[in-house]
């Protein structure tokens, strides 16, 4: 009786199961879907963005890039409306703090306006224009001008932070010299830093809070080195 071997010879080795040596190819977006998606992104971009993310096989980085590019105008508009607003200064009424043709960034989000703030507003003499001036008097203040000096509540106002020591502030039609006025609620008395060349509250009166557009934050283009 012959013995049964415990091992199999090479010729007797059972065949291995077939191996899958092919790799699955990436799915490709049909040409018609690519064209439709691009048209939707161009014309109706919210729908186009949804189609791009749900129905195409574009690489993720391309989808993210398209989304950011298409949303950037909306983000800019949202920031412009709800947070920041740029303005270009015309004229020298705020010299030497701000110069003609400089560009300033302002914020439309402010809870309070305090003395010394520089604001952009619609002046009562010409609501179609935007003026930039410095807030000098606020609610409850008593304002008066005497011998070229500004007085707040019978005390000399320290303006050394934005005008030179030789600058004189004389009265106008609304606020003559030595004729005090009182600032009522939600009203502001404003002056240009260039007192000899500024149309401001001395001539045409107080600025209502509702007419204030924004508060100046900083100069961002064409700025001169002497800006305070």
Range among 12-26, 50-64, 114-128 with highest mean pLDDT value: 114-128
Tens of pLDDT along 18-27? Answer: 433 333 334 5
Residues 203/172, Cβ–Cβ less than 8 Å: yes
pLDDT number for residue 68: 80
**Is residue 141 within a helix (H) or strand (E), and if so which, with residue range?**
none
| pLDDT exceeds 90 at position 33 | no
- Helical ranges in the chain per DSSP H: 31-43, 45-55, 60-82, 201-204
At 227, list the tokens.
């800006």
Residues 204 and 124: beta-carbon distance below 8 Å: yes
Residue 126 confidence (pLDDT) above 70: yes
Residue whose pair of structure tokens reads 């009203």 in the numeric block: 187
Question: Which one has a higher pLDDT value, 194 or 48?
Answer: 194
pLDDT at 9 over 60: no
- How far apart CA 89 and CA 130 sit, in angstroms, is 10
Instruction: Report whether 98 contacts 92 (CB < 8 A).
Output: no
Cβ neighbours of residue 158 under 8 Å, at least 6 residues apart? none
The segment with the largest mean pLDDT, out of 3-17, 30-44, 54-68, 89-103, is: 89-103
Tens digits of per-residue pLDDT, 43-57? Answer: 556 666 677 667 777
Kindly tell me if the per-residue pLDDT of 12 is higher than 50.
Answer: no
Higher pLDDT among residues 14 and 79, named by residue: 79
Confidence of residue 155 (pLDDT cuts 50, 70, 90): very high
Is the predicted pLDDT of residue 76 greater than 50, yes or no?
yes
Answer positive or negative: Cα dihedral of 71, 72, 75, 81: negative
Q: Please check the confidence at residue 186 and state whether its pLDDT lies above 60.
A: yes
Name the CATH code of domain 85-221 (choices 1.10.40.30, 3.30.70.260, 2.10.109.10, 1.10.10.10): 2.10.109.10
- Predicted TM-score (pTM) of the model is 0.69
- Domain coordinates in residue numbering, the chain: 27-82, 85-221
pLDDT beyond 50 at 13 = no
Mean pLDDT of 166-193: 96
pLDDT of residue 134: 98
Q: Can you tell me whether residue 100 is helix, strand or coil?
A: coil
Percent pLDDT > 90 in the chain is: 59
Phi (first) and psi of residue 80, to 5 degrees: -60, -40
Q: Is the model's pLDDT at 28 over the cut of 60?
A: no
């Amino acid at each position: 009786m012959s013995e049964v071997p415990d091992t199999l010879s090479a010729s007797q080795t059972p065949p291995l199961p077939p191996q899958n040596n092919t790799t699955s190819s990436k799915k490709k977006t049909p040409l018609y879907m690519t064209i439709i998606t691009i048209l939707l992104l161009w014309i109706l971009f919210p729908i186009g963005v949804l189609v791009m993310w749900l129905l195409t096989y574009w690489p993720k980085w391309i989808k993210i890039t398209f989304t950011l590019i298409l949303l950037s105008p909306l983000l800019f508009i949202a920031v412009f409306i709800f947070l920041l607003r740029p303005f270009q200064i015309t004229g020298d009424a705020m010299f030497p703090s701000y110069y003609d043709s400089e560009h300033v960034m302002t914020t439309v989000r402010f809870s309070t306006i305090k003395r010394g703030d520089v604001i952009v507003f619609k002046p009562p003499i010409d609501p179609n224009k935007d003026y930039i001036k410095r807030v000098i008097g606020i609610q409850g203040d008593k304002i008066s001008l005497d011998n070229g000096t500004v007085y707040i509540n019978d005390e000399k106002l320290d303006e050394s932070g934005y005008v030179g020591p030789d600058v004189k502030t004389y009265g106008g039609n609304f606020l003559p010299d030595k004729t005090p006025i009182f600032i009522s609620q939600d009203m502001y008395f404003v002056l240009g830093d260039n007192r000899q060349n500024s149309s401001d509250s001395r001539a045409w009166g107080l600025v209502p809070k509702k007419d204030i557009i924004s508060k100046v934050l900083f100069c961002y283009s064409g700025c001169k080195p002497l800006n305070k």
